Amino acid sequence: MLSRIFRAAAAQMGPTQLTDSRAHTLGRMIGLLEAAAARGASLVVFPELAFTTFFPRWLLEGEALDHFYERAMPNAEVQPLFDRARTLGIGFYAGYAEMTAEGKRFNCSILVDTKGEIIGRYRKVHLPGSVEPRAGARYQQLEKRYFDYGDLGFPTFRASSQWRDAVVGMMICNDRRWPESWRVLGMQGVELVCVGYNSAAYDPNGGSTEDASLRTFHSRLVAQANAYMNATWAIAVAKAGDEDGSGLIGGSCIIDPNGVIVAEATTLADEVIVADIDLDLCRQGKDKMFNFAAHRRPEHYAVITERAGAIEPPLIDAATP
């Protein structure tokens, strides 16, 4: 039986400032792609909104906002990345802001095969933040204002003869904190989950909440546990460091189906990590402990799909006074 091993990379990106030119950022991505290919990877995962800064932190309108969106993918500006990838025979995942012909806006990611063809698309389902800006705050989180909710669900993609026929799924940033995202992919037999993120390292407006260490712990914890519970590999990739005074965690990592981190970034800068993805390591979990057909009991899960919000139970009056 053929082994099902291929090498994959995470291309963590350091910060991208508002004033950075698109050409400069794309040049960094091509450099990371070349580094991944030089290390033998046939797939490299870039972060969420990889071509630009994390612009939902700013209250913007008109062209100041619109220029962050891609009207087509690929397009003339990003074509050099596609060309270099095809030449090197390396596929990639990358996140970007999408504007459709109908004017819909999505926080989107694509899966590009080793021939430079887009074989999968995902639109972020779990948008964090708010529609209305926080009055008086220097930094915002306006994803709910700038994007429509993803309308593609959580599809999986299995590219014939590439990546050893791996079943690949995508999510974006906040999606990874929601076990439903992983489970919907798991229900399709996912073997590799790609997820790019931009996650705050602290409250940039100066509030006292979780510190960078706890937030990095959370980021890894959810990816590790959900990888294990769905018996899948996962590649989680940050845009990291200080973007115009707002800090982002790093912690990019490659996780095996046991939930064990097998490669991890050590900086908050551009950095490539690689690992050999042995898809057969998914079988132990999928066939035994997490044999869904044998062990899941969906008749008891109804509330998960019946409503969005939580409803608390009533108080029980003590049986004895």
Let me know if 124 is a catalytic residue.
yes
Q: Which of 47, 91, 186, 257 forms a contact with its own copies (CB under 8 A)?
A: 186
Please report how close the Cβ of residue 246 comes to its own copies at its closest, in angstroms.
17
CB burial of residue 129 (10 Å; 0-12, 13-18, 19+): middle
The Cα–Cα gap between 49 and 77 comes to 15
**Of 26, 189, 194, nearest in space to 120 by CA:** 194
Q: Which of 218, 244, 262, 278 forms a contact with its own copies (CB under 8 A)?
A: 218
Please report how close the Cβ of residue 72 comes to its own copies at its closest, in angstroms.
17
* Residue nearer to its own copies on the CB measure, 17 or 213: 213
Please report how close the Cβ of residue 228 comes to its own copies at its closest, in angstroms.
6
Let me know if 239 is a catalytic residue.
no
Q: How many CB atoms lie within 10 A of CB 144?
A: 15
Q: Which of 217, 261, 278, 280 forms a contact with its own copies (CB under 8 A)?
A: 217
Q: What is the residue type of 76? A: A
Question: In the block, which residue shows the tokens 């033998």?
Answer: 40
Stretch that binds its own copies, among 97-105, 132-140, 236-244, 304-312 (CB under 8 A): 304-312
Does residue 3 belong to the site contacting its own copies (CB under 8 A)? no
**Of 218, 210, 120, nearest in space to 171 by CA:** 120
* Residue nearer to its own copies on the CB measure, 64 or 214: 214
The HSE-up count of residue 267 (CA atoms within 13 Å, CB side) is 11
Catalytic residue (one of 98, 108, 124, 143): 124
Does residue 23 belong to the site contacting its own copies (CB under 8 A)? no
Catalytic residue (one of 98, 108, 143, 173): 173
Please report how close the Cβ of residue 85 comes to its own copies at its closest, in angstroms.
13
132, 143 contact by CB (below 8 A): no
Q: Which of 1, 2, 76, 316 forms a contact with its own copies (CB under 8 A)?
A: 316
Does residue 177 belong to the site contacting its own copies (CB under 8 A)? yes
**Of 213, 214, 243, nearest in space to 47 by CA:** 243
Window 272-301: residues binding its own copies (CB under 8 A): 284, 286, 289-290, 292-293, 295-298, 300-301
Which of helix, strand or coil describes residue 226?
helix
The Cα–Cα gap between 40 and 273 comes to 11
Q: What is the 3-state secondary structure (H, E, C) of 256-284?
A: CCCCCEEEECCCCCCEEEEEEEECCHHHH
Window 223-242: residues binding its own copies (CB under 8 A): 224-226, 228-229
Q: What are phi and psi of 75, to 5 degrees?
A: -140, 175
| Triad 277, 183, 129: Cα angle to 5° | 100
Stretch that binds its own copies, among 71-79, 92-100, 239-247, 310-318 (CB under 8 A): 310-318
The Cα–Cα gap between 201 and 90 comes to 31
Let me know if 48 is a catalytic residue.
yes
Give the Å distances, CA to CA, from 39 to 11, 36, 88, 90, 273. 12, 5, 12, 11, 9
Window 110-169: residues binding its own copies (CB under 8 A): 113, 115, 117, 119, 125-128, 149-150, 153-162, 165, 167
Measure CA of the first residue to CA of the last residue in the chain; give whole Å: 69
Mark 187-216 with x for binding to its own copies (rule: CB under 8 A) and - for no binding: xxx-------------------xx---x--
Q: Which of 1, 23, 101, 303 forms a contact with its own copies (CB under 8 A)?
A: 303
Please report how close the Cβ of residue 40 comes to its own copies at its closest, in angstroms.
21
Q: Which residue numbers are catalytic? A: 48, 124, 173
